[in-house]
Amino acid sequence: MEFLINPKLDEYLKNLSVEDDPVVLEMEKYAKEKDFPIIGRQGGRLLYLLTRLKNPELVVEIGSGFGYSAYWFAKGLKKGKVVLIEYQQRNIQTAKKFFKKAGLLNKTEFRVGDGVEIGKKYNNIDILFLDLEKIRYMEAIKTLEKNLSPNGIVIADNVLFQGKVIFEPENKKAKILNRFNRYMFENYFSIISPIRDGILIAVKKP
């Protein structure tokens, strides 16, 4: 598979991103040991920056895993909360342990179940983060976009799908992600950063 970023450039960026947060380091170690996919440190830093710039009151994350990406949102919050929605109870329990260790439980809400269905219960979402099953991305945005705040941000991970959106366009998940990407660029003001596996950032068109 083609590299999205030159490996030497990727290594350069990793070396610049020195991290001294012990919980971040522990979460990254856990992900490596469990072979658990995460947004990565560059992606996490991007989420943190967007959170600081947006200063949201409500972040809703669909597909939280064990909480790595939500941790970066929580670190960046000045007020408000991040809602972690994950269908596996054991992942939520692991997330709670990390957030407790970091003293961030007061900024979080944990939900177990279907992310799209639970997400519908929240209104005025300032940041909506999509990292659920890729075949549900279109369903998720079509269902939840009405729940966004007027200037809400949509962030979606894995939108380049290891380059398969280009190199294997007939792949079932690649087809859906290509539909999703086109929808987001046609109906939102969007950009895709090639960080790791592609991170889409979008706001509604004025």
What would the pLDDT profile of 94-104 be if each residue is shown by its tens digit? 999 999 999 99
Write out pLDDT tens, residues 167-202: 898 999 999 999 999 999 999 999 999 888 899 999
8 Å CB contact between 62 and 141: no
Alpha carbons 160 and 14: distance in angstroms, whole number: 20
Mean pLDDT of 1-15: 73
Write out pLDDT tens, residues 105-158: 999 999 999 999 999 999 999 999 999 999 999 999 999 999 999 999 999 999
Q: Please count the structural domains in the chain.
A: 1
Write out pLDDT tens, residues 40-67: 999 999 999 999 999 999 999 999 999 9
Which residues constitute the domain of residue 70?
7-107+123-204
Tell me if 112 is assigned to some domain: no
Tell me if 116 is assigned to some domain: no
CATH number of the domain within which 182 lies:
3.40.50.150
Tell me if 115 is assigned to some domain: no
State residue 3's pLDDT score.
Answer: 53
Concatenating the DSSP letter of every residue in the chain gives ---SS-HHHHHHHHHH-----HHHHHHHHHHHHHT----HHHHHHHHHHHHHHH--SEEEEE--TTSHHHHHHHHH-SSSEEEEEES-HHHHHHHHHHHHHHT-GGGEEEEES-HHHHHTT--SEEEEEE-S-GGGHHHHHHHHGGGEEEEEEEEEE-TTGGGHHHH-TTSHHHHHHHHHHHHHHHHEEEEEE-STT-EEEEEE--
Given a cut of 80, is residue 88 above it in pLDDT? yes
